[in-house]
Amino acid sequence: MLLSMTGFGHGVEERQGVHVVTELKSVNNRYLKLSIRLPDSAARYEADLEKLIRSRISRGAVQVSVRLRYGSGAAGYRIDSDVLQAYQRQLAELTGASAEQLRVDPGVFLHLPGVIQEDDLSEDILQGVWPAMQASMQVALEHFADFRIREGESMRGDLKLQCDLIAEQLELVRGYAENVTADYRERLLDRVRKAVAEVEGGTALKDSDVIREVALFADRCDINEEITRLRSHIEQFLRLLDSDTSQGRKLEFIGQEMFREINTIGSKASEVKISMCVVEMKAAIERIREILQNVE
């Protein structure tokens, strides 16, 4: 099972006069990066909320927004007159006017820090904040997980398609590789015969010379080990795609090993058809890399 690092979740809960709305949004990131936005009255629960999120999410840049609304009369607001007057005095000093001479709409000051104060909540209300937050977060996480599972299933199908493409091209490479040495031997003999025929008086062509040259070529162009290892990597990659947990990092490592074997095959290839297969396999690996960037 694959999980996408891109997701969205939404949860609403109301308990003991506390109404909570929770939203989760995430994008891909190498590690888990949390950004939690809470009202001041719920700031004390940030560590508990983070622990809950980390138990369900291991990678991605996750933005969390929690909004609280209390029942009628549960919480009120008041204007702090001392803070408001302090702002007015400072403004008067800056303008050179007295506080009485200032003609500024008081509403201008309401948006400044500290002017509006929230009344202290009763203990009964405070006790209901965390249960409501926890329940709302659980619902958001469930929606978030469903979203990521659907995205992950789509990516899994695409990854399997790319692996099948690599396996098909690898089978073609294996078939072409079987005839590379024999073809080279025939081309070498043909060139040598023509060269010998052009030499006046003729000369003897030793089989040992040809055999040695062909043996060296076969050793340089032997890709059987690379083919075997690449097959093994493909099998391991497909097994991880079907595992019970999302294994994004392991899949990235195996993808790197697959690219290394393909690259070695390309460097050893002396046959145009093999080179063409290598290009197709590299394109598939690049597609795999792009997909895995968003897999948890």
CATH of the domain at 65: 3.30.230
Q: Are residues 247 and 279 in the same domain?
A: yes
Transcribe 231-259 into DSSP letters.
HHHHHHHHHHHTSSS--HHHHHHHHHHHH
The reported pLDDT for the residue numbered 221 is 61
Q: Are residues 94 and 191 in the same domain?
A: no
Q: Are residues 245 and 206 in the same domain?
A: yes
> Is 84 exposed, middle or buried, given 0-12, 13-18 or 19+ CB atoms closer than 10 A?
middle
CA 125 from chain centre, in angstroms, equals: 40
**How many domains does the chain contain in total?**
3
CATH of the domain at 163: 1.20.120
Q: Are 148 and 13 in contact (CB under 8 A)?
A: no
CA distance 200 to 207: 21
Q: Would residue 225 count as lying in a domain? A: yes
The per-residue pLDDT of the chain, averaged, comes to 81
Q: Quick: pLDDT tens for 166-215.
A: 999 999 988 887 765 555 555 555 555 555 555 555 555 555 555 565 45
Q: Would residue 117 count as lying in a domain? A: no
The reported pLDDT for the residue numbered 141 is 96
Structure tokens belonging to residue 149? 């599972």
The reported pLDDT for the residue numbered 113 is 79
Q: Quick: pLDDT tens for 212-230.
A: 654 555 445 677 788 899 9
Q: Are residues 142 and 13 in the same domain?
A: yes
Q: Are residues 95 and 64 in the same domain?
A: no
Q: Are residues 25 and 41 in the same domain?
A: yes
Q: Are residues 145 and 168 in the same domain?
A: no
Specify the DSSP element, H or E, that contains 120.
Answer: none
The reported pLDDT for the residue numbered 140 is 96
Please tell me the pTM assigned to this model: 0.69
Q: Would residue 246 count as lying in a domain? A: yes
For 94, the domain range is: 77-111
Q: Are residues 271 and 141 in the same domain?
A: no
Amino acid letter, 247? Q
Q: Are residues 103 and 64 in the same domain?
A: no
Q: Would residue 116 count as lying in a domain? A: no
The reported pLDDT for the residue numbered 265 is 85
Residue ranges, the chain, pLDDT below 70: 71-78, 96-104, 106, 116-126, 179-221
